[in-house]
Amino acid sequence: MAEILNRQNQKTLLIDLDPQGSLSFAVETKSNNLTIYNVLKGDVKAKDVLQTTPSGDIITANNSLHGADLEFNATGREYLLREAISDIKKQYKYVIIDCPPALGILTINALVAGDFVVIPALADVFSLQGMGQLNDSIQSVIKYCNPKLKIAGILLTKFTQRTNLSQIIKDELNNVTQKMNTKLFNTSIRIAVALQEAQLQQKCLYEYALLSTAMEDYKNFVSELEDIINE
């Protein structure tokens, strides 16, 4: 997403909020002891930990975030990220926050700081099971912390049209989106070896596989998402 937007001259900031740091690894950031953890703690300003990569500017993460739910326990802890990026977000057209796969304080901070939520989902039963709990959390954030927050849609990833199960899950997700007052994106991100290879080699798809199905899918998705944002 960030590569595509930046190449459209829409300056984009990435924020890695996942203790696993997968995003930070994928875009080949420099090893740095100062991460989003230090920003949330108030030790440094967000502008002081920015790194520039081919995919855009990024604030990295590492396993220092593992204890966030216990460590960040003061009143107002839901607003740490929103306050931390308030000075720099005006420099960017888009800020993309990569969340951990858990509904803890880090994900809540992302929801409080954001305007739109994109929910990535695999075409499997477990993704369906987690939608209700995720929606409850989002609705609580909308009610108590961020009334402007909207669910942009659910994005199917690692999708293959060749299996009946994938089609069944896709139909079920369409039913789920109606209850969540959102939509299933028309674009699905198909399984692509090129995407996995690019991540392993820490290269962006523009450099590694410009004509891949993954690149085509992400371009279509970004276009679809921008239409929703600009409605």
What DSSP line would sit under 49-70, residue for residue? S-EEETTEEEE---GGGGGHHH
Distance in angstroms (rounded) separating the CA atoms of residues 209 and 60: 25
Distance in angstroms (rounded) separating the CA atoms of residues 24 and 144: 31
- What pLDDT is attached to residue 213? 87
- What pLDDT is attached to residue 171? 84
- What pLDDT is attached to residue 11? 94
Rg (CA), the chain: 17
CATH of the domain at 221: 3.40.50.300
- What pLDDT is attached to residue 43? 94
- What pLDDT is attached to residue 199? 79
Task: Report pLDDT digits (tens) over 158-194.
Answer: 888 777 777 788 888 888 888 888 999 999 998 888 8
Which parts of the chain sit beneath pLDDT 70? Answer: none
Q: Which domain holds residue 200?
A: 2-229
Task: Report pLDDT digits (tens) over 209-227.
Answer: 787 888 899 999 999 999 9
- What pLDDT is attached to residue 218? 93
- What pLDDT is attached to residue 19? 94
- What pLDDT is attached to residue 124? 80
**Based on the structure, what is the number of domains in the chain?**
1
Phi, psi of 158 (to 5 degrees): 50, 45
- Which two three-digit tokens encode residue 32? 């740095």
- What pLDDT is attached to residue 162? 72
